[in-house]
A and B are shown apart, each in its own frame.
Chain A
Amino acid sequence: MTVHTQHINMTRTPLPILPISLGVLFLGTAITMPFWGQAYWLHEFVNISCFFIFAMMWNLLAGYGGMVSVGQQAFFGLGGYFVLAMGNLAGVSPFIGIPLAAILTAIMALPLSKLAFRLNGGYFAIGTWVIAEVVRLTVANISIVGGGSGTSLTAFRGVDRVFRQHMTYWIALTCVVATVALILLFLRSKQGLALQAIRDSEVAASSQGVDVIRMKLAVYVVAALGCGLAGALYFASNLRISPDAAFSVNWTAFAIFIVMIGGVGRIEGPIIGTFVFWLINHYLSDYGTWYLIGLGGLAIVMSLYMKDGLAGFIHRKTGKDFLSIKRIYRSK
């Protein structure tokens, strides 16, 4: 993409052809999957999509915004609860409820940010976790959504099961594509420059005219929106929610794992990381405790020897960024 021909000597990284064509191929296969795939795989795809969107958001927040949150499960759970509450109590179809729940979650993030943003660094991490616990305990005391034992999604009663599964799948697919596209476009925009600058040095960014506080708030709200979307999708697909499942810190732990394996602060990171996580989860999760010990061990090894993750490793070996957001200078 050449930006403004009167400034001809500067070009942006061309939009990457290979990944885009692979993406189109993937999309073609994926869109038609309900017609040839098994219901099990559809369900599996929806679940992993939720992990993926959640991890993309954690990467945006921590990898680009420098806000290491351990409390994103607050928004995941809220998204889930919103979609179930709207469905069960107001009769809103969960298919419409999913995006609505995401928006409501983002609105909730505004007051919560007032609390979280009083803290920095490690304190921010702990603080966000505490906020998530407070949200969990609050929800567990609301009897209309089942209190501590949770509730089931009844809004789908009377909806054909196959139709429901296909619709949920397509919504998940749309959400995945939209998440990747939005983050890519955002990071390639002028605001994306500011976000990368903040990631590298907050002090310098603000001394260069970047409104760091507003930018971080925007990222926090967008991340809440995405986490809410992932949660809404997950619980609309799984039909049952409880405070312990919805607000479990494991959600964020898995997201951190995915991003660390894939490469923090890189847009390809969560894509690669989710795939690795899915492989491990799919084939090794029967090993129970050993599976979790293995995940932890792998994360430690990665953070010691491959800090920039698999995406960073590939970049170092091939010199290529597959979803590049770089601006390249070419002299006259």
Chain B
Amino acid sequence: MLLTVENAHKSYGALAVTKGMSFSVEEGETLGILGPNGAGKTTLFNLISGDVSLDSGIVHFNGQNITTLAPFQRCQSGIGRSYQVPHPFGNMTVFENLITAACFGGQMSEPEAYDVAEEVMNSMGLTSLANQQAGSMTLLNRKRLELARALATRPKLLLLDEIAGGLTEPEAQELVTELKKIKAKGTTMIWIEHVVHALLSIADRLMVVNFGEKLADGEPMSVMNDPEVKRVYMGIEA
């Protein structure tokens, strides 16, 4: 297993957002996460990336207990993350955003980082925007950069938080094509998404989260046909 989360608990005051969740992801696998708003999906990512610390529970990654590591250490150990709302380094160019990620997340020298940045820009279609200030870009391009920057850290595990949200249908298709290429290279992914058909086109496994608990976990189509999932997520009474 590349990632194992055991009995994760997290509360904000009286509000329990993660209630003893356990799951794991195999190397090379793509896990899709679905769930209503406020179900605790992003919190789950925060617990894996270290932005939020666990109240109790253990996170193992790549054979190492990373429960107490800081976010930057988790990134360096191979967890790349994109945020739901893109956080570009707004006053830096696209190219500089990527070399920063490669230099620090990927722990490379600057010349090595330049090569990685170029490669990522080419594959993400950002080359023509290389010298543009990241803060001045359109939403689609900022989302692309968000993904590209996570890739530039050379992650073993990629956490994608609603990167298709707010995109038009052709844009979402383009993104899925990119993700398929990344998957083909063997990168493990966890993808939170409300654009269900995009998610289903790539996920090997689907997990549904509700009120901080795991509702279903398994083969995508059987999870989608689960009456409880239909009721909670799609509002269809069986």
Contacts and interface: CB of A to CB of B under 8 A. Distances in A.
Contacts of B230: none
Given A203-B51, A329-B95, A209 B106 contact: yes
A208 B153 contact: yes
Interface string B168-196: 00000000000000000000000000000
B65 to A, nearest CB: 19
B91 interface: yes
Contact of A9 (B100, B110, B118): B118
Interface in A172-201: 190, 193-194, 196-197, 199-201
B130 interface: yes
A300 interface: no
Interface in A280-332: 326-329, 331
Contacts of A6: 111
Interface residues of A, number: 31
B75 interface: yes
A190 B114 CA distance: 12
A14 to B, nearest CB: 15
A201 B51 contact: no
Interface in B65-109: 70-72, 75-76, 81, 83, 87-93, 95-97, 99-101, 103-107, 109
B89 A197 contact: yes
B88 A207 contact: no
Contacts of B88: 200-201, 204
A212 interface: yes
A7 B118 CA distance: 10
A201 B90 contact: yes
Contact of A209 (B96, B107, B131): B107
Nearest to B76: A209
B78 to A, nearest CB: 10
B91 A210 contact: no
A3 B89 contact: no
A8 to B, nearest CB: 10
A148 B93 CA distance: 51
A230 to B, nearest CB: 27
A10 interface: yes
Contact of B130 (A206, A210, A331): A331
Given A200-B88, A265-B91, A208 B105 contact: yes
Given A196-B91, A329-B130, A331-B127, A210 B100 contact: yes
B210 interface: no
A43 B99 CA distance: 45
B149 interface: yes
Nearest to B152: A208
B153 A327 contact: no
A4 interface: yes
Contacts of B118: 9-10, 329
A3 B115 CA distance: 12
Contacts of B76: 209
B131 A328 contact: yes
B72 A206 contact: yes
A329 B131 contact: yes
Contact of A204 (B83, B109, B111, B115): B83
B9 to A, nearest CB: 23
Contact of A194 (B95, B97, B100, B117): B100
A44 interface: no
Contacts of B18: none
Contacts of B93: 326-329
Contacts of B114: 3, 7, 10
Nearest to B103: A190
B4 interface: no
A50 B231 CA distance: 69
B49 interface: yes
A206 B90 contact: no
A203 B84 CA distance: 13
A30 interface: no
Nearest to B128: A331
Nearest to B122: A331
A203 B63 CA distance: 26
The 3 closest A-B pairs by CB, nearest first: A209-B105, A209-B104, A204-B87
Given A4-B111, A206-B71, A209-B72, 19 more contacts: A7-B111, A190-B109, A193-B96, A193-B99, A194-B104, A197-B97, A201-B87, A201-B88, A204-B87, A204-B88, A207-B72, A208-B149, A209-B101, A209-B105, A210-B72, A211-B104, A327-B93, A327-B96, A329-B117
9 contacts: A4-B111, A6-B111, A7-B111, A196-B89, A203-B83, A206-B51, A207-B51, A209-B101, A327-B93
Interface of A: 3-4, 6-7, 9-10, 190, 193-194, 196-197, 199-201, 203-213, 265, 326-329, 331
